[in-house]
Amino acid sequence: MSLWRSIRRDIRVAFERDPAARNIFEIVLAYPGFHARQFHRLAHALYRWRMPLLPRLISHLSRFLTGIEIHPGAEIGEGFFIDHGMGVVIGETAEIGDDVTLYQGVTLGGTSQQKIKRHPTLGNNVVVGAGARLIGAITIGDNVKIGAGSVVVTAVPSNATVVGVPGHIVAVRHPDADILERLPDPEWDYMESLQRRLEELEARLAALEQALGEQRGISPLTTQGRG
């Protein structure tokens, strides 16, 4: 894809994924995610040409102006969109597929200090919610949705939805049948169990108070009024 067509696609996806977008001038002049993407295009090209220092300076300037830090070595596909963007960090060996959306505060970080693949690989059509952390050389499949604030440290298969700390899969969509299969969530099940138990105890306590009031010849309403 030519550079001009790629930039036009960046503008188009801003309209598609941000209902607040009003016109082209607003996107080109006032969208930090769009600016960071264009800075990265230049920095990445110079990085691949093994230009010393300059790619990092461009990346640093981009961070200063947009609040988004993308290492020049990161590989980014077409249709990439960063919504709001403040605090987004994308590491050197990160790989991002086509039509990926990141929200503010997302980190694609690494855990190793060696010069190896140490940052996440994201497939196509991935959405990463605000404040999520994807750490290490993990692979995120196509059509994955990662909830806000999640911390993901293991690989995620395609068509999955991930939430929590640490991140765990709560649903898998079957694209052929367009069916969403919800998987067991032990933490949520435990919370629901506690809620049901609390409601049962409150009901039993209310029944005991009513029975005690009736035995004493005092109505519950009178007892409450005296309290």
CATH number at residue 16: 2.160.10.10
Chain segment 30-44, per-residue pLDDT in tens: 999 999 999 999 999
> What pLDDT was estimated at residue 184?
61
Residue matched to tokens 């009178």: 222
Q: Who contacts 87 (Cβ-Cβ below 8 Å, separation ≥6)?
A: 67, 68, 104, 105, 106
27 and 123 in a single domain? The answer is: yes
| Rg of the chain in Å (alpha carbons) | 25
> What pLDDT was estimated at residue 115?
84
153 and 207 in a single domain? The answer is: no
125 and 157 in a single domain? The answer is: yes
167 and 205 in a single domain? The answer is: no
Cross-strand bridge partners of residue 174: 179
> What pLDDT was estimated at residue 120?
96
169 and 191 in a single domain? The answer is: no
26 and 63 in a single domain? The answer is: yes
153 and 167 in a single domain? The answer is: yes
> What pLDDT was estimated at residue 63?
96
50 and 157 in a single domain? The answer is: yes
Please give the residue range of the domain that contains residue 24: 3-183
144 and 71 in a single domain? The answer is: yes
pTM: 0.77
Q: Which two tokens stand for residue 85?
A: 């963007």
CA distance 90 to 210: 61
> What pLDDT was estimated at residue 88?
96
CA distances from 58 to 52, 69, 94, 188, 205 (A): 12, 10, 18, 45, 67
71 and 147 in a single domain? The answer is: yes
Q: Total structural domains in the chain?
A: 2
221 and 130 in a single domain? The answer is: no
Contact indicator for 118, 137 with CB cutoff of 8 Å: yes
173 and 211 in a single domain? The answer is: no
- Residue 166: is the preceding peptide bond cis (ω within 30°)? yes
Give pLDDT < 70 ranges for the chain: 175-188, 218-227
> What pLDDT was estimated at residue 227?
47
CA distance 117 to 22: 39
